[in-house]
Structure 1
Amino acid sequence: MATQLEALPHRHVLTLPAEPSAVRMARETAEQAMVEWGIGLRHPTVDPALLILSELVANSVRHAAVLSPQVTVIYASGPGCLAFAVHDRHPYQPALYGSLTDAGTGGLATVMELTLGLGGTAVVRADADGRGKSIWITLPL
């Protein structure tokens, strides 16, 4: 998928406290944004995308909240593409593709299996200061 994330015409940013309610709020906001952008909630990519998003936000809340009191979700879409990122200020960068080869059965392995199964991509992008990261997921529609 060669879509440049910067070229996606639809964007929404949501910053939430790093607490369990962030998962629900991130999902509800994703659903609202997709409806506004003309992506039907019955599209076959939507349910897996919401599960991926929920897992990533839950991971930030569970593992990064000690150093990152907030989690930011960036939603984006364009013709044939849905993308989102979950950002926190914890420096640990998970090995996304390693979760598949390490006999992973946890949330990150599920994220990667769903992403790759849909023909999508996943990447971890470190903050410029090295004290945080974003995990970007891009899925074809």
Structure 2
Amino acid sequence: MGSAVRIARETTEQVLAEWGVGPQEPCTGPVLLILSELVANSVRHAAVLSPKVTVIFAGGPDAFAFGVHDRHPYRPALYSPAVAGSGRGLATVMELTLELGGSAVVRGDADEGGKSIWVTLPLRRSGAPGAR
């Protein structure tokens, strides 16, 4: 599990840097924490049916989005009170995402055989209007 999380974090750091978001920016730490938790969850809970996890990136000048995809059909309820009782991982992801003004959604594959959890976060850069 550790190598999957490490590779995902390193790749995400590279993507953010290519988009002009460096490690000193306020949004970088939360992005890496949320991504790490989602990849770890996918590896931990979906590996039996889905030995491969894919991370997809999208973004624009004011937002960064990423999806963590696996081929396990179970779709967690992100906004459910049950999330808080099932361990702290998804609850932490959701608390941090909402606290940062972001959103999260679970999207099932067309064949219902897998899903992606997509998180979209506003980019807050140091020195930029609205930066914390």
2:50 to 65, 68, 83: 68
So what's the TM-score if we normalise by structure 1? 0.82
Stretches of structure 2 lacking an aligned partner (at least 5 in a row): 124-132
Q: Which amino acid aligns with 1:46?
A: T
Q: After the TM superposition, which of the residue ranges 19-28 and 46-55 deviates more from structure 2? A: 19-28
Is 1:57 equivalent to 2:39 in the alignment?
yes
1:33 to 15, 23, 30: 15
**Aligned match of 1:85:** 67
Q: Deviations over 1:45-89 (max 9, x none)?
A: 110110000000000000000000100000122110011000000
Equivalent pairs counted in the alignment come to: 121
- The answer (yes or no) to whether the contact 2:77–2:83 under 8 Å persists in 1 is no
Write 1 or 2 for the structure with the bigger share of strand. 1
- The answer (yes or no) to whether the contact 1:20–1:61 under 8 Å persists in 2 is no
Q: After the TM superposition, which segments of 4 or more aligned residues of structure 1 sit over 3 Å from their partners?
A: none
**Aligned match of 1:16:** none
1:103 positional shift: 7.2
Is 1:116 equivalent to 2:98 in the alignment?
yes
Stretches of structure 1 lacking an aligned partner (at least 5 in a row): 1-18
Query: 2: distance between equivalents of 1:102 and 1:66?
Result: 23
Query: 2: distance between equivalents of 1:32 and 1:40?
Result: 9
Over the residues paired in the alignment, what is the CA RMSD in angstroms? Answer: 1.2
- The answer (yes or no) to whether the contact 2:83–2:90 under 8 Å persists in 1 is no
